[in-house]
Structure 1
Amino acid sequence: MALAESILLASKFRGCLVAPVKPYTDDTAMTKCIAESLLEHKKLDASDLAKRFVKEYFSDPRRGYGANVVDVFRKLRTQKFVDPFGPAREQFEGSGSYGNGAAMRVSPVALFCHDSYDELVSMARVSAEVTHANHLGFNGAVLQAIAVHQSLHLNAKEGLDVTSFVLDLITKMAAIEKDDEGLGLEDPTPYQTQLKHVKELLDRGDGVEDAEVVRQLGNNVAALFSVPTAIYCFLRAQEDIEGIKTDNPFRRTLQYAISLGGDTDTIASMAGAIAGAYYGHGAISEALQRHCELLSEVVKYAEDLYVLVAAQSNVPP
């Protein structure tokens, strides 16, 4: 259960490093919508998810939502959710959004699909397509879900082979990006390319300047240039990082992600979700947790997801 809690808790640390309590933003707002929907329906229901996203936004719009996703929400409400994927497919003249908004919220899917990798990939993509119809957008969410899923199945006490972690991701993304090879793209395997850059940077150890990390991996709102960056932050923070003074690897992950600049909130949220799944709830200090709005509710979502998954697997919680 500690791991379950930490997946959702990690998404709450956007802006929570300084007292007093900081309000959660769209990262957590949409993450909790996915958790609530999974708990109620015990499956991914795209129509229900769309309704929850819209209701959450219009009841509390000041959480930092981007203008493009708000446009999707308005169209969903106008068409009364007849087609939960239609408005997203209309975005950007039909090309869809390639942003990281679907990846930042996908962590509950990784927990829900703990025992089924194939279901994980399918569900992560569908959860993304409600707002992100571009292959770079939904594949970014799939990659993030896979990274969290991998972390859930590892034991932090045994240590992490960062090279194996990345190679496993490359292998899994090869199967996913195979579907894109016939689209005539300049690079039909962009996430594999980015993950190879992650491996190259890790192989060089602590001699890599932050500016080079940003140049190679990116730090903006595009999923392609932020999800691999979040994965790198988690893996790089397995060891001490110059200029970051903490012995806590979970906190080191967050601080390093923030230090790279750019879309710091969402990259740190995604890196934190991966780290939380790996290290567990116990790695998140109480002092840090006290800064976060909605803490007890988020922990409850995670606990309930854990119990649901355990029951479906016939494993005692």
Structure 2
Amino acid sequence: MTFTLFPDARLALARDSLAGLSVGDALGSQFFVPGRHPADLAADRLPPPPWQWTDDTEMACSVLAELAAHGGVDQDRLALAFAERCEPYRGYGPGAVAILRLIRTGTPWPVAAASAFDGQGSCGNGAAMRVGPLGAWFADSTTRAAAQARASAEVTHAHPEGVAGAVAVAIAASLAARARLGGDLPDPARSLAAVAGALDPAGAVTAGVRRAATLLGRPLPEAVAALGNGSRVTAQDTVAFALWVAATHLSDYPAAIRACVAAGGDVDTTAAIAGAVVAAYTGVGTSGGVPDHWLAAREPLPEWVR
């Protein structure tokens, strides 16, 4: 399917994806509170609002603001936006805080990103957790989605696996938004194969996405055992599982978030990634989409992105 995607349509798709990301992030983060149990969400017993979002949403808002203002990613400008808007109490990891502090105080982002983990660069899930709306923005081109996702990742993640995680999520969100425009429900195995096919064949994230395709239709605990649930806070341990959830529940946003919560681990991040991809397909307030009352319970987004 070839089509022209106008700026207003791009923005609408990206905003829906951001709604799915931010609600998943905010609701998922509530299950780090002692005394809350996944069974509560399974029974639709929701935590009391407002649900506060974390660094996942804060950084995703900067990505969307960059796209809305300029149509694409300028790495210098995006790096500075991440650094200046960073509120450490939002749950940023110590590595991210250190990189963003260096950028904020004048260190060029390539130097700051490369300094992480004794010069290896970060393979964390931060670049993947924030990129879903970018993928939805480029619903007309998975090639552009991949290139722009790479650019958005490199400002903080110098490790190839950290970058690959962002590219994988962006392609999944691009395909989901494209399917929404085309009115189809895509085959989950073909979607995951398309994601894996765009990545480094030898990469660990690639291997995880391929493994996820073999686990479609299998029980959640089996997928967690094979793919991880974000507990190690790496792209390798997070992205394949989140994309398995999204592929399994692409037409049912609440089911996708419930699966992430039930899986445990880095719940806010897996729910943010899966939520961004699914909402790119379902939208908000539709049958199977982000529920209006969930969106109303989420803490409002920053004024500068609204």
Q: Does TM, scored on the shorter chain, surpass 0.5?
A: yes
Q: Of 250, 257, 265, which aligns to 1:254?
A: 257
2:246 to 210, 234, 237: 234
Aligned to 1:244: none
Aligned runs of 1:256-271 on 2, under 5 Å? 256-271=259-274
Q: Which amino acid aligns with 2:297?
A: H
> In 2, Cα distance between the equivalents of 1:47 and 1:18?
39
Deviations 1:106-135 (A, max 9, x none): 123213333333322221111111111100
Equivalent position to 2:58, from 16, 29, 32: 29
CA distance in 1, matches of 2:189, 2:70: 37
Equivalent position to 1:274, from 262, 277, 294: 277
Give the deviation of 1:55 after TM superposition: 1.1
Aligned to 2:235: 223
Aligned residues: 271
SS of residue paired to 2:121: coil
Q: Is the contact made by 2:13 and 2:137 (CA closer than 8 Å) also made in structure 1? A: no
Query: In 2 relative to 1, CA 170–289 (structure 1 residues): closer, same or farther, beyond 3 Å?
Result: same
Aligned to 1:8: 18
Closer/same/farther in 2, CA of residues 209 and 40 from structure 1, 3 Å limit: closer
Equivalent runs, 1:32-71 vs 2, <5 Å? 32-57=61-86, 60-71=87-98
Output the CA distance in 1 between the equivalents of 2:127 and 2:194.
22
RMSD: 2.1
CA distance in 2: counterparts of 1:123 and 1:105, whole angstroms: 13
- TM-score normalised according to structure 2 size: 0.82
- Checking the alignment, whether the CA contact within 8 Å between 2:17 and 2:276 is kept in structure 1 is yes
Letter in 1 for 2:21: S
Distance in 1 (alpha carbons) for counterparts of 2:146 and 2:170: 8
Residues of 2 paired with 1:125 and 1:108: CA distance?
14
2:126 alignment partner, SS class: coil
Q: Is the 8 A contact 2:18 2:60 kept in 1?
A: yes
Question: In 2, Cα distance between the equivalents of 1:26 and 1:165?
Answer: 28
Amino acid at match of 2:91: G
Matched, 1:288 2:294: yes
Q: Does 1:194 align with 2:208?
A: yes
Identity value in percent: 32
Distance 1:52 1:164, change over 3 A: same
Shift of 1:19: 2.1
> CA–CA distance in 2 between the matches of 1:209 and 1:266?
17
CA contact (8 A) 1:18 1:291 kept: no
Aligned residue for 2:89, secondary structure, equals: coil
Q: What's the secondary structure of 1:65's corresponding residue?
A: coil
Call closer, same or farther: CA 1:5–1:41 in 2, change over 3 Å: closer
C-alpha change, 1:118 and 1:158, in structure 2 (3 Å) is: closer
**Conserved? CA contact 2:84–2:104, under 8 Å:** no
Contact 1:128/1:138 (<8 A) preserved: yes
By relative contact order (CA 8 Å, sep 6+), the higher-ranking structure is 1
Check conservation: 1:102, 1:132, Cα contact below 8 A: yes
Task: Give the drift of 1:293.
Answer: 1.4
Q: Which residue of 1 aligns with 2:36?
A: none
> CA deviation digits over 1:183-226, x for unaligned, max 9?
xxxxx232332122112111xx24x351x222210112111111
Counterpart in 2 of 1:315?
A: none
Identify if the C-alpha distance between structure 1 residues 227 and 294 changes in structure 2 by more than 3 Å, giving closer, same or farther.
same
The structure with the largest alpha-carbon Rg is 1
| CA-CA distance at 1:296 after TM superposition | 8.8
How far apart, in 2, do the equivalents of 1:189 and 1:128 lie? 16
| 8 Å Cα contact 2:140-2:178 kept in structure 1 | no
Please name the residue that 1:140 is paired with: 165
Q: Distance in 2 between matches of 1:189 and 1:93?
A: 21
The 8 Å contact of residues 90 and 96 in structure 1, kept in 2 or not, is answered as yes
- C-alpha distance in 1 between matches for 2:256 and 2:50: 21
Distance change >3 Å, CA 66–CA 120, structure 1 → 2: same
* Unmatched runs of 5 consecutive residues or more in structure 2: 1-8, 28-45
